[in-house]
Structure 1
Amino acid sequence: MTFTGFDILIPVLVVFVLLFLLAGVKTVPQGYNYTVERFGRYTRTLMPGLNIIVPFIDRIGARMNMMEQVLDVPTQEIITRDNATVAVDGVAFYQVLSAPQAAYQVSGLENAILNLTMTNIRSVMGSMDLDELLSNRDVINERLLRIVDEAAANWGIKITRVEIKDINPPANLVESMARQMMAERNKRAEILEAEGRKQAQILEAEGRREAAFRDAEARERAAEAEARATQVVSEAIAQGDVQAVNYFIAQKYTEALAKIGSSANNKIVLMPFEASSLIGTLGGIGAIAREVFANGEERPAARRSPARPPLTPRDSGGAE
């Protein structure tokens, strides 16, 4: 069997059509965008999935990763506003939002983001003192994120986060900071101790004042009681009750003898002559007291007891 030229041409054409169709079919994975260039000029963007282009006329330009990516910022030395040198490193997170802009607006996207982040770290942290640098990381991160994101917006890039990882001052500076911190803590401890002593003295003074007030109040109450007792005795005397007078004199006499006998400096106590008669009549004094109080409760105030002469040493059983 002989083949003519037409018989050979048909299979060749079929193979060519198949190759043409296969060349025009492009599959884009999830998380990526492909740019399409026609004769070197950008025309459109291929989304994830199955896409058709014109073979030999259109071609794939840039394959852009649309997922969020992390970029490690290397360590660099920074001079702060107070002339302290520190070593700083960090990390930046970014995401491509527009594949054509990221592909055609900047050359070397990652290198551009890296240099932009490093320069802004130097400018932001260099305008702060060392103490601010060590205590305000959140402020630094927020300022860096705002500045770098604004600068990268024209590239179709969204800077999602910029974080400072480590801030390493020199060893001698760390030692000086430790001494400063210790001095500050000692100062606070001394201030607290002084405040405690002050508070204790205030409380002690208030306690003394309260005690003095209570003592004065107690003396006032005792004086009122003594005045009341004297008034009662005076009223009894005014009414002619001689037994009350004798009871009052005997009580004072007994108190005076008790004070004399309790003296620590006297070995010998000289008793007055009337003391023997007083000691012998203590039982009589108790009876007189009971009679006085009983008469005060039972008899009306208008009735008076008959006049009775005061006790004499002879009547009390004493010798002259």
Structure 2
Amino acid sequence: MMANIDTDIVVMAIWGIIFVIFLIKLFQSIRLVPTKSAYIVERLGKYHATLDAGFHALVPFVDKVAYIHDLKEETIDVPPQECFSSDEVNVEVDGVMYISVVDPVKSSYGVTDYRYAAIQLAQTTTRSVIGTLDLDRTFEERDVISAKVVEVLDQAGAMWGIRVHRYEIKNISPPETVKNAMEMQVNAERERRALLAKSEGDKQSKINRSEGIKTEMINHSEGEMQRRINEAEGKAEEIITIASATAESIERIATVIAAPGGKNVVRMQLGSQYLKQFEGLSQSASKVVLPGNLMDFEHWMNSVGLDDKN
């Protein structure tokens, strides 16, 4: 009797365990796939389906989620590695690449570990590209190195189900001795540029000073020339004005002389002025001054046509 009871208990325990396992498998067969994720389902060890975002129910004990892939872009650090440039300088280079899974099936079955494979391929490609460049150009040609690595990774990524968006070199570290030599070279170049800039400044300063002196001399000479022109024009205007006034006075005298009795008037005016001249001389010398021959004035009047007969 006791043996039958024990047997029943064992059977019930076994069925209980089976039921629990069935429940666990049943719950495991229900899958909620998040956005930008992909689940690879195998049925009896063979690829069956790829589950996209949403609710999915699997067949318990038959279907199994073998791989889970995140489809978002991810960042992978490329560890530092030693590379030799074409001029035999050892440099240490590290970088970072940005990749995403575009084909979950190939990412699962096309390569064992696509992240590790991408890192190794990026390192070997970087070494190959740097080996073709001089040390100085490695700092200048970072874009070329990155573009070459992306090109090679894209070719391999097509088989691995991944896409390489970008590859950036973070650091290029030469040996300490090379760093010191490069710093000395940079300092020498900086000093050369400073001396060149100073000499150019001195040269420009002298040019500006000479241009200023030249402009000053030109302005002074132009001012002097203009002053002389103005003086000449003023004198010319003065002469023209005096000539015009003289001509006008002569015309008026001629008009007066031509009038009836005009000659007598002019004769009397000139005689009066003639005698006033001697009067001035007498006053200045405190003596009486008389002309030596009053007939000389009469002869002059006749010679100019102002005789009383006319």
TM-score of the alignment, normalized to the shorter chain, above 0.5:
yes
Q: 2:153 aligns with which of 129, 148, 153?
A: 148
CA change 1:40–1:234 in 2 (3 A) is: closer
- Match of residue 209 from structure 2: 204
CA change 1:197–1:301 in 2 (3 A) is: farther
- Match of residue 116 from structure 2: 111
Letter in 2 for 1:23: K
Letter in 2 for 1:81: S
Structure 1 residues without counterparts, runs of 5 or longer: 1-8, 240-295, 310-314
- RMSD across aligned C-alpha pairs, in angstroms? 4.2
CA change 1:224–1:148 in 2 (3 A) is: same
Q: Equivalents in 1 of 2:63, 2:55: separation in Å? A: 16
- Match of residue 121 from structure 1: 126
Greater helix content: 2
SS at 2:92's partner residue?
strand
Structure index of larger Rg: 2
Contact kept, 8 Å, 2:97 with 2:168, in 1: the verdict is yes
Structure-to-structure mapping, 1:6-85, within 5 angstroms: 23=25, 25-30=29-34, 32-85=37-90
CA change 1:147–1:228 in 2 (3 A) is: same
SS at 2:120's partner residue?
helix
Letter in 2 for 1:171: E
Shift of 1:14: 11
Q: Equivalents in 2 of 1:84, 1:189: separation in Å? A: 30
Q: Equivalents in 2 of 1:213, 1:93: separation in Å? A: 70
Question: Percent sequence identity over matched residues?
Answer: 32
CA change 1:45–1:17 in 2 (3 A) is: farther
The TM-score, its normalising length taken from structure 1, stands at 0.62
1:160 and 2:165 correspond: yes
- Match of residue 251 from structure 1: none
Q: 1:172 aligns with which of 177, 180, 183?
A: 177
Provide the aligned length of Structure 1 versus Structure 2.
251
SS at 1:37's partner residue?
strand
SS at 1:133's partner residue?
helix
Shift of 1:104: 0.6
- Match of residue 190 from structure 1: 195
- Match of residue 284 from structure 1: none
Contact kept, 8 Å, 2:38 with 2:71, in 1: the verdict is yes
Letter in 1 for 2:71: M
Letter in 2 for 1:210: T
- Match of residue 292 from structure 1: none
Contact kept, 8 Å, 2:107 with 2:160, in 1: the verdict is yes
Spell out, residue by residue over 1:241-287, the C-alpha distance to the aligned partner (whole angstroms, 9 max, x if none).
Answer: xxxxxxxxxxxxxxxxxxxxxxxxxxxxxxxxxxxxxxxxxxxxxxx
Contact kept, 8 Å, 1:28 with 1:46, in 2: the verdict is no
SS at 2:59's partner residue?
coil
SS at 1:56's partner residue?
coil
- Match of residue 137 from structure 1: 142
- Match of residue 280 from structure 1: none
Contact kept, 8 Å, 1:26 with 1:52, in 2: the verdict is yes
CA change 1:26–1:124 in 2 (3 A) is: farther
Structure 2 residues without counterparts, runs of 5 or longer: 1-10, 254-268, 278-282, 286-310
